[in-house]
Amino acid sequence: MNNIEAVIFDLDGVIVDTAIFHYQAWKRLANEMGFDLTIHQNEHLKGISRFESLDIVLEIGKINHLTKKEKEVLATRKNEWYKENILKMTPNDILPGVKMFLQKLKSANYKIAIGSSSKNAGIILERIGYQNYFDAVVDGNKIAFSKPDPEVFMKAANELKVNPRNCVVFEDAAAGIEAAHNAGMKAIGVGEHDVLCKADAIISDFKNVDISVFNKLIKY
């Protein structure tokens, strides 16, 4: 048996496929400035804050002369494009298998939380009908440091009143796996092996995943 009491989910790329909307918006911004952003480079933007992401994008484009104000304008522009997409989301955008897995967790009395770096998490949860579903939601508005800092997951554990050692995190970003480990939690990667190689277990998606997935963590 495992000692997991609470399950913390990243949002973008785990519950919903908004990671692609982030990529499209950053790529559009890069293209407007005259350079490209590859899907591989985009992996480094996952899990980190909007402004940290912008800094990486600008570094890729070798643009290093912008003022804070100019950067704010760019970040806002990217966010407006991103919001056009998330505002169209519906409960049908919940990734396959997620709904069922969450129901199984609730029935088995696990506590569930969202731990996301996004300031748009509230909008997304509302669009997909999950605004009151989780026992705790910690998002980009509640934290000072983004992943791989453990703050977001520590706050979630604190809100749930569960010891971090008894929490497991589902994450699609390398920075998120690191954040979970920095919080003393187990981490299950959702996605590709090469990106998530530091995770304690990896699933490709939530189709057919049930609570027995935690048994993969026993050896840790």
- Minimum gap (Å) between residue 109 Cβ and ligand BG6: 27
* Catalytic residue status for 10: yes
Main-chain phi, psi angles of 181, to 5 degrees: -65, -40
Tell which one of 8, 29, 50, 185 touches ligand BG6 (CB under 6 A).
Answer: 50
Asked if residue 117 binds ligand BG6 (CB under 6 A), the reply is: yes
* Catalytic residue status for 205: no
Q: Can you tell me the distance from the alpha carbon of 105 to that of 4, in angstroms, rounded to the nearest whole number?
A: 11
Q: Which one of ligand BG6, Mg ion, none is in contact with 119 (Cβ closer than 5 to 8 A by kind)?
A: ligand BG6
* Closest alpha carbon to 12 in 3, 2, 22, 4: 22
- Closer CB to ligand BG6, residue 50 or residue 155? 50
Asked if residue 173 binds ligand BG6 (CB under 6 A), the reply is: yes
Residues 160-179 that bind Mg ion (CB under 5 A): 172-173
Q: Can you tell me the distance from the alpha carbon of 199 to that of 216, in angstroms, rounded to the nearest whole number?
A: 11
- Closer CB to Mg ion, residue 63 or residue 95? 95
- Closer CB to ligand BG6, residue 124 or residue 214? 124
Q: Can you tell me the distance from the alpha carbon of 210 to that of 92, in angstroms, rounded to the nearest whole number?
A: 21
Name the strands in the sheet holding 136-138, side by side, starting at the edge strand that comes first in the sequence. Answer: 136-138, 111-115, 6-9, 167-171, 186-190, 201-203
- Closer CB to ligand BG6, residue 44 or residue 106? 44
Assess whether the previous peptide bond of 148 is cis (omega < 30° from 0). yes
Binding stretches for ligand BG6 (CB under 6 A) = 12, 22, 45-50, 53, 79, 116-120, 140, 173
Task: Name the residues annotated as catalytic.
Answer: 10, 12
